């Protein structure tokens, strides 16, 4: 019998269709070949968060009813998966289910499989977004909350009557922006929404690719805060996060505008950029300006945490590491010196 060393092998051998997603930062599909290379230690995990890989695996058989695993694995200092952990998880799976994953499993098997250190439960909002995206991917029915949410965002309930709108309905709409005029409906609704549904909608939009016109409307809301004499920095942070799925030009322009202003570079906004819109930092000048603003918050612990987190992202590693040996501004140089001192102290 073939020895199974990777999840890719296990899933492929079971005659299942499957998709891999990152759940740590944005909910992002991971190409099957990329994930296979990651499992074999040929490349680092593409979207690390706090030195861990937060992975969702959806797999299904001909009936198209998906099974889902939420898995969390440690990464080493190079960002590589620890293959021993993958091997241990596969042992749990084989013990609970055998080598064929495309069969129904009973409650005892489910309990046995759940009882391992590598499964985790995502936050409620991420879980809602993920389920909506998988059901859209497989062209399965939406939740019971979808039509009611559509009715609300089209203005049919009255903008103040948002209390009965379910989060799952909002995430269903965001997973189907190309269907039933959903994009147009959301675009028209944005200026009218009270805070609660607005924040819920922006949170769901963080995890989808934004059509240009919808991104432009969100950009306009961000511009209102940017030019305001009394900006709502928490709303600006939410808008910046929501624009993480916009095209790179739109996203980078907004990040640059925020970073040009010390007043707008509140730590909540900077955390939002680091968490969702990190790809805007792949330009060395933008990354240096981001770190300067982060240093200017005076929160050295936050600086250390975000730098350590961002430098693990393969896309940013060779952008950020050279800054440790360059001659940036005195404020940034001081923060980087403290970072290195802290790293040596904890080594």
Two tokens, residue 112: 């046995």
Q: Domain check: are 60 and 106 in the same one?
A: yes
How much is the pLDDT for 100?
Answer: 62
The answer to the question of residue 152 being in a domain is yes
- Please count the structural domains in the chain: 3
User: Rounded to whole angstroms, how far apart are CA atoms 62 and 230?
Assistant: 55
Q: Domain check: are 229 and 342 in the same one?
A: yes
Each residue's pLDDT, cut to its tens digit, for the chain (347 residues) gives 568 889 999 888 877 889 999 999 999 999 999 999 999 999 999 999 999 999 999 988 777 678 888 999 999 999 999 989 999 998 888 887 766 665 666 667 667 777 789 999 999 999 999 999 999 998 999 999 999 999 999 999 999 999 999 999 999 999 999 999 999 999 999 999 999 999 999 999 999 999 999 999 999 999 999 999 999 999 999 999 999 999 999 999 999 999 999 999 999 999 999 999 999 999 999 999 999 999 999 999 999 999 999 999 999 999 999 988 887 788 898 998 898 888 776 65
Q: Domain check: are 191 and 230 in the same one?
A: no
Q: Domain check: are 266 and 328 in the same one?
A: yes
The answer to the question of residue 326 being in a domain is yes
Select from 167, 182, 208 the last residue of a domain.
208
Q: Domain check: are 179 and 240 in the same one?
A: no
How much is the pLDDT for 223?
Answer: 95
**CA-based radius of gyration for the chain:** 22
Q: Domain check: are 328 and 260 in the same one?
A: yes
CA distances from 332 to 182, 291, 304, 342 (A): 44, 7, 12, 15
Select from 149, 180, 208 the last residue of a domain.
208
The answer to the question of residue 103 being in a domain is yes
Q: Domain check: are 155 and 247 in the same one?
A: no
The answer to the question of residue 136 being in a domain is no
How much is the pLDDT for 189?
Answer: 97
Q: What's the pTM value of the predicted model, to 2 decimals?
A: 0.91
The answer to the question of residue 2 being in a domain is no
Sequential DSSP letters for 198-239 = HHHHHHHHTTSPPPHHHHHHHHHHHHHHHH-SS--HHHHHHH
* Sign of CA pseudo-dihedral 239, 243, 244, 245: positive
Q: Domain check: are 105 and 148 in the same one?
A: no
Q: Domain check: are 164 and 240 in the same one?
A: no
How much is the pLDDT for 103?
Answer: 63
Angle ∠(131,137,138) on CA atoms, nearest 5: 95
Q: Domain check: are 176 and 83 in the same one?
A: no
**Cβ contact 307:320 at 8 Å:** yes
The answer to the question of residue 133 being in a domain is no
Q: Domain check: are 58 and 159 in the same one?
A: no
User: Rounded to whole angstroms, how far apart are CA atoms 41 and 37?
Assistant: 6
Domain that holds residue 312: 214-347
The answer to the question of residue 29 being in a domain is yes
How much is the pLDDT for 59?
Answer: 87
The answer to the question of residue 338 being in a domain is yes
Q: Domain check: are 218 and 345 in the same one?
A: yes
Select from 56, 79, 114 the last residue of a domain.
114
Phi then psi for residue 185, to 5 deg, are -60, -50
């Amino acid at each position: 019998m073939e020895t199974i060393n990777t999840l890719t092998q296990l899933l492929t051998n079971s005659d299942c269709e499957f998709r891999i997603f990152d759940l740590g930062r944005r909910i992002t599909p991971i190409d099957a070949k990329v994930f296979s290379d990651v499992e074999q230690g040929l490349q680092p995990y593409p979207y690390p968060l706090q030195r861990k890989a937060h992975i969702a695996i959806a797999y299904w058989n001909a009936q198209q009813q998906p099974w889902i695993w939420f898995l969390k694995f440690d990464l080493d200092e190079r960002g590589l998966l620890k293959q021993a952990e993958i091997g241990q998880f596969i042992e749990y799976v084989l013990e609970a289910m055998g080598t064929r994953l495309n069969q129904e499993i009973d409650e005892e098997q489910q309990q046995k499989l759940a009882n391992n250190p590598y499964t985790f439960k995502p936050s409620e909002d991420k879980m809602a977004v993920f389920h909506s995206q998988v059901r859209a991917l497989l062209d399965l029915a939406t939740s019971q909350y979808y039509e009611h949410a559509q009715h609300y965002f089209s203005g049919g309930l009255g903008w103040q009557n948002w209390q009965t709108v379910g989060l799952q309905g909002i995430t269903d709409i965001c997973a189907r922006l190309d269907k039933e005029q959903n994009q147009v409906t959301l675009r028209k609704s944005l200026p009218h929404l009270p805070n609660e549904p607005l924040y819920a909608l922006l949170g769901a939009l963080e995890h989808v690719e934004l059509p240009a016109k919808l991104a432009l409307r969100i950009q306009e809301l961000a511009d209102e805060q940017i030019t305001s004499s009394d900006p709502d920095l928490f709303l600006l942070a939410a808008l910046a996060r929501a624009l993480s799925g916009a095209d790179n030009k739109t996203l980078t322009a907004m990040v640059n505008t925020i970073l040009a202003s010390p007043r707008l570079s509140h730590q909540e906004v900077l955390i939002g950029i680091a968490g969702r819109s990190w790809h805007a930092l792949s330009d060395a000048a933008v990354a240096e300006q981001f770190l300067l603003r982060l240093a200017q918050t005076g929160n050295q612990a936050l600086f250390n945490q975000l730098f350590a987190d961002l430098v693990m992202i393969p896309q940013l590693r060779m952008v950020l590491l050279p800054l440790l040996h360059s001659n940036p501004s005195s404020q940034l140089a001081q923060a980087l010196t403290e970072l290195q001192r802290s790293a040596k102290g904890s080594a």
